[in-house]
Amino acid sequence: QKEVEQDPGPLSVPEGAIVSLNCTYSNSAFQYFMWYRQYSRKGPELLMYTYSSGNKEDGRFTAQVDKSSKYISLFIRDSQPSDSATYLCAMTRISSNTGKLIFGQGTTLQVKP
Amino acid sequence: SQTIHQWPATLVQPVGSPLSLECTVEGTSNPNLYWYRQAAGRGLQLLFYSVGIGQISSEVPQNLSASRPQDRQFILSSKKLLLSDSGFYLCAFRKGSYSNQPQHFGDGTRLSIL
């Protein structure tokens, strides 16, 4: 079993839809959670970074963490064609000297105009 | 603000040739540095990481090596490339150790081996 599971998709939605992207994990030592967006032929770009359980909002993006269920989500409101990309979840243990991240496989999202 | 630079963006090399990819970070001191490989349609595989000058940790046995000759410079090398070395190579940094800061990525090098 992988430490982090993420449905690779692809996920196709119409413009304006609410998108829900999810990851599950098995290791309760993970305390910091990140979402990255990766456009084709580009490096991953940090979208959201959270620590505690609950919600964190930034514009059209909301990150949700449920540590009791070992489940994290990224919601995109009013999705736009420019949101079409691969979304990677990542997580790490607390106070790690190495800062090594465990990544999900990534979910490919297509937003159709 | 901190920035990360990787070059070249694209590279085509014959089998058996050497490799040198360079990554530099600006705007922070003593960063943690990372090299990843991303195969098509797959997740990120951590290859090497470094917490300081001359300190390199390897995650997987392979045909590649890494070096950190200066605080903000990270180099990925190979003496003889294999077909299986093809892929998208990404460099990343984290601001300091024990900081719980996230990693930030460069724009990668797409390496094709012929």
* Chain centre to alpha carbon of residue B109: 9
Q: Is the pLDDT of residue A18 over 80?
A: yes
Residues in chain B closer than 8 A to A46 (CB atoms): 102-104
pLDDT value, residue B41: 66
pLDDT confidence band for A8 (50 / 70 / 90): confident
pLDDT value, residue B98: 60
Tell which B residues from 47 to 76 touch A, by Cβ distance under 8 Å.
49, 51, 57
Chain A: give the shortest CA distance to residue B15, in Å.
Answer: 23
B68 to A26, A61, A72, A98, B21: CA distances (angstroms) = 34, 36, 35, 15, 12
pLDDT value, residue A94: 73
Chain A: give the shortest CA distance to residue B41, in Å.
Answer: 8
DSSP code at position A95: T
pLDDT confidence band for A96 (50 / 70 / 90): low
Q: Look over chain B and give the mean of its residue pLDDT values, rounded to a whole number.
A: 92
Give the A:B interface size as CB pairs under 8 Å.
Answer: 63
Report the distance separating Cα A97 and Cα B100, nearest Å. Answer: 9
Chain B: give the shortest CA distance to residue A42, in Å.
Answer: 5
User: How far is the first Cα of chain B from the last one, in angstroms, to the nearest whole number?
Assistant: 39
Please report, as a single letter, which amino acid is at residue B46: L
pLDDT confidence band for B91 (50 / 70 / 90): very high
Q: Is the pLDDT of residue B66 over 70?
A: yes
Residue of A42, A50, A91 to mutate, testing the B interface (most B Cβ within 10 Å of its Cβ)? A42
Contact criterion met (CB < 8 Å) for A32 and B44: no
Residues in chain B closer than 8 A to A36 (CB atoms): 105
Chain A: give the shortest CA distance to residue B51, in Å.
Answer: 7
Residues in chain A closer than 8 A to B100 (CB atoms): 32, 51, 92, 94-96, 99
Q: Is the pLDDT of residue B92 over 90?
A: yes
Adjacency order of strands within the sheet including A71-76: A4-5, A19-25, A71-76, A61-66, A54-58
Reported as a single tens digit per residue, the pLDDT across A30-66 is 989 999 999 999 999 999 999 878 899 999 999 999 9
Report the distance separating Cα B101 and Cα A97, nearest Å. Answer: 11
Report the distance separating Cα A99 and Cα B98, nearest Å. Answer: 7
Tell which B residues from 3 to 32 touch A, by Cβ distance under 8 Å.
6, 32
Reported as a single tens digit per residue, the pLDDT across B19-65 is 999 999 999 999 999 999 998 767 899 999 999 999 999 988 788 99
Report the distance separating Cα A26 and Cα A63, nearest Å. Answer: 19
pLDDT value, residue A98: 79
Whether B61 and B45 have beta carbons less than 8 Å apart is answered as no
